[in-house]
Amino acid sequence: MHIPPPTPRQMYWNRVLLNTFWMVLFVYLASQLFVALSMWGHRPELSGGQYFINHILIPDSILLVLLLILEVVHKWKPLMSEFSIIVASHLYGILMIMNLSTEFHVKPLIMLLPLLVSMIYLKDNYLKASSIICLIYIIMLFLNTATYDYTLRIQNIIITLIFAGTSLAGFGVIARGRDLMQSLENSVKSEQDLRIQNIIMDRLSKIDPLTDLYNHKTFHEYLGWLIEHQQNNPFPLQLAVLDIDNFKKVNDQYGHWVGDIVLKQVAAVMLQHIGSDDFAARYGGEEFVIILTAKPLEDSVRIMDKILTGIAGLPINEMENKSVTVSIGMHDYDGTDSKSSTFQQADDALYEAKKTGKNKIVIF
């Protein structure tokens, strides 16, 4: 079974826990040195090189090696980093407890470390395993406590209650954390669905559903924005208005459903020839508009001529393989026209093309 690699968030928390282990080691070492130096000369058992070697150098070196192993696993075996940190947290606690004097009756509380680490990962299995290990440790504490030492037994009972409370709180934290994560996932999913709906609604408000071109409203908004932008940063701009010749005859002879097919195929030819910087829209009925930008008039006329001949040479099966033609009026924007006058001049050019024979391009 393929195991997915850890996510960036998992790697982040593994790194946080490793950093915490390093901090604990430094604090532990500093406290050991403080105790040894403060008791130097006052208590023989805490003085001398042998104590330093047996109770500071060796155990802390073992903890250091353990942390270095965790660092290697984190870097080279990230899939095993989480599990290795859980296991190491128990070893970490046990090694520290074994090195502390029996005089420190609160040292069993160090076993809270693996419980807390398990809680951070929000996994029941980790917390159950840590709780079982703590339970075994508590049992060993009671077995090693003299029956007459009531004070120590009461302390062990208190420690047991602390472990039990921490474990129960841990399961509650994990359950609550999962609820929050589920709520977050649901919120993210709802937000994504809403964004998709907004995108769809935005598209529906801008796109003509029959031809998949932009609609009349979007054309006027875009043309107005282009003209405003062009006045501040001049660039070539041409507007072409296209009208299908004798379209009423197509509807009357073949039906409106064939007329819809003609509109779709004319739109497809337009999209086939215009560039990524150009804009095509269905203006209304059988009339279309194309905005051509960032190219000289000669290139734009060449594109419109390809569209003109492409439509005229396209047989339509539903019309007994006959084709339709279009008339095209163009206007080369000179930087002084308004939006309305720009469209008016292209529309006048279209009227001239219609009047003088159709299936042609006229430029005003």
Q: Can you tell me whether residue 354 is helix, strand or coil? A: helix
CA 224 to chain centre: 35
Q: Is 286 considered catalytic here?
A: yes
Distance CA(21)–CA(70), nearest Å, equals 10
Distance CA(350)–CA(364), nearest Å, equals 9
Burial tier of 173 (Cβ tally within 10 Å: 0-12, 13-18, 19+): middle
Dihedral angle, C-alpha 310, 313, 314, 315, nearest 10 °: 180
Which position among 71, 185, 286, 298 bears the catalytic label? 286
**316 to 50, 259, 266, 311: CA distances (angstroms):** 100, 11, 10, 10
**Where are the extended beta strands (E) located within 181-257?**
237-244
Q: Can you tell me whether residue 209 is helix, strand or coil? A: coil
Cα 316–Cα 319–Cα 322 angle in degrees, nearest 5: 65
Distance CA(216)–CA(288), nearest Å, equals 9
CA 104 to chain centre: 50
CA 74 to chain centre: 24
Q: Can you tell me whether residue 49 is helix, strand or coil? A: helix
Q: Give catalytic residues, as residue numbers.
A: 286
